Copies of this chain bind each other. A is one copy, B any other.
Amino acid sequence: MGFEAGGRLAVVLYDKVAEEMDVRPLDRVTVKYNNRKVVAIVITTKMLPEKIVGVYDEVARALGVREGDELEISPAKTPESIFYIRKKLARGKLSEEEIRAIISDVVDGYLSDVELTALVTAVHFQGLSIEETLSFTKAMVDTGEKLDLKSYVKGPVLDKHSMGGVPGDKTSLILVPIIASLGYYIPKTSSRAITSAAGTADRMEALAPVTLGIEEMRKIVLREKGCIVWGGTLGLAPADDIIIRVEYPLGIDPFFIPSILAKKLAVGSTHVVLDVPVGRGAKVGTIGEARNIAREFVELSRRLSLRLEAAITYGEEPIGYTIGPALEAREALRTLMGKGPKDLIDKALSLAEILLSMIGIKNGKELARTALETGKAERKMRSIIEAQGGDPDVKPEDIPLGDKTLTLYAENEGVVVWINNSAMSLIGKTAGAPRDKSAGVELYVKRGDKIKKGQPILTVYSESSVKLQAVERLVRELNPIVVGKGYEMQMVLEKVPAYPQEKPIGLER
């Protein structure tokens, strides 16, 4: 039929036929062709001829079946994992075997949206015990591809993950080439933006292709020690990609710990630094919350024989001066070429120091700084760009920006007391990012900067003047940069409307 159901297996039956078989919509049937069989979810219609079955592409591929072929269809037993989901709904704890059955059925596409959502919301309300989290992590790893560097090389494999939520955070584009240039493996997979204006994969894609297969990734990592690729096509922990599809419209993310750890284990990382940015508008709002998350990750990693150290980082304003794929790629490249903003450099060097100290290197920050300042990291980045299929000689100004711009000027003199993270993301998205790589926001000021009346404070880039008009309306509404007479002078930063606004959560992993 040419219908894609997001990895789910579905067949369309004439409704009278379904009724005779005693199956209802969303029930399961076993579909047999030659010696192969799959379990598929039923959709009914009044329009198909009685003996005709519509199969979604996923079913056709799994069975190798074509139009006109004859299929055998019979009611299927309910997958056992549904009883384990019901058990979680009944506030029970799940065993490792039960969790393996659930994740296996998730990956095989046997669960309907109703069942998947019940799983996600049950975990949202009931939480996961340490044992359950470990079991979900292991099941997610085992049902996907693995990079398997161990079969090829010895020694540590370093990695980094950020909890996200801070706009403009292009740290990975600095950290990965630094670590790789020092001779250590860092097979970085990253995500595209879901709720933000740019994910690391979107940023890197302004410099080189990021949509690679697992074999290509392995080849690049073995040669360059590092890479920055999109996780979406690698098949690592694919259960996560299916689960995230129902989490996203609900704005909840209860599987974030197993999801993150599974992706790291699937590439064979041995030492990971977890960046937990803290700030209003970031995913984690307070230091206390950050410490709890960090401790949980450290403990769970220990039990998975993974060394993980967390860094709680400043996330009250964007990192560097740019937000949006092209602008951020430009800024990262300039930073590697010796002209970067202080906060971005400090963050990259500090995370490098943590990673290097975890493998016993004492003067890691100095080593990292030297790699950055001597151009060694830049050369490594250009090698990685070339290995991934990009132009190794790319200059920052080669990366195209939207030709429609809107610049905001300070209405008063004063001090920048606050830059609203969520507003910055929303402006970048409204301008067209991340789909429009050339869209984004360039800041001319950061917190604490003194500014004069009439001074430009930011420029928005877009390829669409319609989108820029929407940005203009948004900017008036949001007051994204708060200028006061000094830190003490303006204590109310914003008013919260009677109903809470939707808070974007960091689904990027």
Q: Is A487 interfacial (CB-CB < 8 Å)?
A: no
Residues of B within 8 A of A337 (CB): none
Which of the segments A115-123, A288-296, A352-360 contacts the partner chain? A115-123
Which A452-509 residues sit within 8 Å CB-CB of chain B? Answer: 499-500, 502
Q: Is A124 interfacial (CB-CB < 8 Å)?
A: yes
Residue of B22, B114, B499 near A249 (CB, 8 A) is B114
Given A112-B249, A114-B249, A115-B250, also A6-B22 (CB < 8 A): no
Which A1-45 residues sit within 8 Å CB-CB of chain B? Answer: 1-6, 12, 15, 22, 25-26, 43-45
The CA of A502 and the CA of B43, in the complex, are separated in Å by 25
Minimum distance in angstroms from A94 CB to a CB of chain B: 11
Residues of B within 8 A of A367 (CB): none
Closest residue on chain B to residue A115 by CB atoms: B249
Minimum distance in angstroms from A246 CB to a CB of chain B: 5
Residues of B within 8 A of A246 (CB): 114
Interface size on A, residues (CB 8 A): 46
Minimum distance in angstroms from A244 CB to a CB of chain B: 12
The CA of A82 and the CA of B251, in the complex, are separated in Å by 10
Residues of B within 8 A of A115 (CB): 249-250
Residues of B within 8 A of A90 (CB): 500
Residues of B within 8 A of A47 (CB): 1-3
The CA of A26 and the CA of B116, in the complex, are separated in Å by 14
Q: Tell me if A114 and B112 are in contact (CB < 8 A).
A: no
Residues of B within 8 A of A15 (CB): 4
Minimum distance in angstroms from A5 CB to a CB of chain B: 8
Q: Is A125 interfacial (CB-CB < 8 Å)?
A: yes
Closest residue on chain B to residue A6 by CB atoms: B25
Chain A positions 185 through 198: 1 when the CB is less than 8 Å from some CB of chain B, otherwise 0? 00000000000000
Interface residues of A (CB under 8 A from B): 1-6, 12, 15, 22, 25-26, 43-48, 57, 82-83, 85-87, 89-90, 112-118, 121-122, 124-126, 246, 249-252, 435, 499-500, 502
16 residue pairs A–B, Cβ–Cβ below 8 Å: A2-B46, A4-B15, A5-B43, A26-B249, A83-B502, A85-B250, A86-B251, A86-B252, A89-B251, A89-B252, A112-B249, A114-B249, A117-B118, A121-B122, A122-B125, A125-B125
